[in-house]
Amino acid sequence: MKRNILIHPDPRLKKICSPVVDLTDELRQLADDMLETMYDAPGIGLAAPQIGMLDRLIVMDCVKEEGEAPRPLIMFNPEVVASSDETNVYEEGCLSIPEQFAEVTRPKIVDVAWIDRDGNAQRETFDGLWATCVQHEIDHLNGKLFIDYLKPMKRQMITRKMQKLKREQARE
């Protein structure tokens, strides 16, 4: 089932999410719904708080090449366990901040540990877009948005645009 994506500013996007201690069927269903919502948007990553659920859960799939098999990832309690000194700059966007993009600098390579959909511990090294995406999504679990990396003026400008967008949506 597709879920509604919250638009910034929203207090739920600023919350620290709780670790998943019991991997229930409800949480698995939530993860599946998040993937469906993400693909439908379309997007390459989605974090639980973006649909109003304050659990440490993210989903992503950064496969972009036409014809390449999709690689949906479901991560409970994802954690960056190591990151490179080398950085990368990507023009980031966010499904909670539609049509706004800005360059963000992050570590180029990160090791991430998480619990998968079956409850197994996983660990993998991510590079390039995958690394940027996983860091962006994990930030969401700590109440942090990509615009928090921008200079205050730029951040305020984007926030005002989003407030206007939400007012327009509310009138529809």
Q: Binding site: what residues are annotated?
A: 94, 136, 140
Q: Which of these segments, 58-66, 78-86, 88-96, 120-128, binds Zn ion (CB under 5 A)?
A: 88-96
Residue closer to Zn ion, measured from CB, 92 or 108: 92
Known binding residues for Fe cation are 94, 136, 140
Shortest distance in whole angstroms from residue 109 CB to Zn ion: 20
* C-beta of residue 34 within 8 angstroms of C-beta of residue 57: yes
Determine the interface stretch with Zn ion among 26-34, 72-80, 90-98, 113-121 (rule: CB under 5 A).
90-98
94 contributes a contact to Zn ion by CB under 5 A: yes
State which residue has the least CB distance to Zn ion. Answer: 94
Number of CB atoms found within 10 A of residue 96's CB: 25
- Please check whether residue 92 is in contact with residue 106, taking contact to mean a CB–CB distance below 8 angstroms: no
Cβ within 8 Å of residue 83, ≥6 positions away: 107, 109, 110, 111
The one catalytic residue in 79, 137, 168, 172 is 137
Contacts for 105 with CB less than 8 Å, ≥ 6 apart: 87, 88, 89, 149
For residue 116, give Cα distances in angstroms to 28, 72, 121, 123, 156: 10, 11, 6, 10, 37
CA distance linking residue 123 with residue 65, whole number of Å: 24
Smallest separation, CB 22 to Zn ion (Å): 26
Which is it for strands 87-94 and 73-83: parallel, antiparallel or unpaired? Answer: unpaired
Q: Say how many residues touch Zn ion, by CB under 5 A.
A: 1
Region binding Zn ion by CB under 5 A among candidate stretches 13-21, 26-34, 64-72, 86-94: 86-94
What is the chain's length? 172
38 binds Zn ion (CB under 5 A): no
65 given a catalytic annotation: no
Contact call for residue 75 and Zn ion (CB under 5 A): no
* Shortest distance, position 137 Cβ to Zn ion, whole Å: 7
Residue with Cβ nearer Zn ion (94 or 150): 94
Among all residues, which ones are annotated catalytic? Answer: 137
Give the interface with Zn ion as residue ranges (CB under 5 A).
94
